[in-house]
Amino acid sequence: MLSKIQIAQRIAQELQNGWYVNLGIGIPTLVANYIPEGMEVEFQSENGILGMGSFPTEENIDADLVNAGKQTITALPGASYFDSATSFAMIRGQHVQLTVLGAMEVSENGDIANWKIPGKMVKGMGGAMDLVASAENIIVAMMHTNKRGESKILTKCSLPLTGVGCVKKIVTNLAVLEVVKGGFKLLERAPDVSVEDIQKATEGNLIIDGVIPEMRF
């Protein structure tokens, strides 16, 4: 089974040279720490920065420089700042190549729910609805099951949707899945996790084709 850090490490393998990438709050943020050697990617944070760097030192903290998770950050050489309309022009206009975000539920047809549990919790969609509606590549980073052990990979989402038919790939603590016609195609399994384990934790239709390789790090 993968730790949250390993999920981020596995997603980092999906990055391609020259990509502009938007990382959501939580596990996705960790992806920035594992860019493959020699690769150039630039991180966009939708509150208004391209070229986001690591966290600052105590001396360099700037209250005016934060990411979409409101964390203090730094700007790399070549960075730029812009307003929110310009930021979402980059997103809606498909100038950002990859979006990585968390989810509460994902369904077989690529629907995603991650902003609201009616009557219980409302965080708001923030930029997630704009991101999922427009991104060419969306990878969901999440745990395979919720805290009660119920599958988050479903035939149909039960929670209010964030977007429809948009998720392409999912990396969980158990597996890498691709959303294809008819269900979730199992691409890879986490170390020491069997296909049966993944099947048990997946409520939606799992498509198993041939021998499923173990993830490599």
Catalytic residues: 46
- Does 3 interact with other proteins (rule: CB under 8 A)? no
- Does 140 interact with other proteins (rule: CB under 8 A)? no
Using CB under 8 A, which of 37, 38, 64, 216 touches other proteins?
A: 64
Cα separation, 100 vs 135, in Å, equals: 10
Which is nearer to other proteins, 46 or 188 (by Cβ)?
A: 46
Query: Of 101, 206, 207, 209, which Cα lies nearest the Cα of 151?
Result: 206
> What pairing do the DSSP bridges indicate for beta strands 121-122 and 49-52?
unpaired
Stretch that binds other proteins, among 43-51, 136-144, 172-180, 195-203 (CB under 8 A): 43-51
Query: Of 105, 107, 196, which Cα lies nearest the Cα of 146?
Result: 105
Using CB under 8 A, which of 133, 187, 195, 207 touches other proteins?
A: 133
Q: Which residues contact 136 (CB under 8 A, 6 or more apart)?
A: 94, 97, 98
Which is nearer to other proteins, 49 or 142 (by Cβ)?
A: 49
Given a contact cutoff of 8 angstroms between Cβ atoms, the answer to whether 103 and 132 are in contact is no
Which is nearer to other proteins, 107 or 145 (by Cβ)?
A: 107
Stretch that binds other proteins, among 86-94, 170-178, 187-195, 199-207 (CB under 8 A): 86-94
Q: What are phi and psi of 206, to 5 degrees?
A: -100, 125
Stretch that binds other proteins, among 14-22, 116-124, 175-183, 206-214 (CB under 8 A): 116-124
Which residue shows structure tokens 């052990």?
Answer: 149
Residue 45 CB, nearest approach to other proteins (Å) = 8
Residue 207 CB, nearest approach to other proteins (Å) = 24
- Does 136 interact with other proteins (rule: CB under 8 A)? no
Query: Of 16, 27, 26, 24, which Cα lies nearest the Cα of 44?
Result: 24
Residue 11 CB, nearest approach to other proteins (Å) = 20
Which is nearer to other proteins, 13 or 47 (by Cβ)?
A: 47
Stretch that binds other proteins, among 41-49, 176-184, 190-198, 205-213 (CB under 8 A): 41-49
Q: Which residues contact 186 (CB under 8 A, 6 or more apart)?
A: 175, 176, 177, 195, 198, 206, 207, 208, 209, 212
Using CB under 8 A, which of 38, 77, 78, 119 touches other proteins?
A: 119
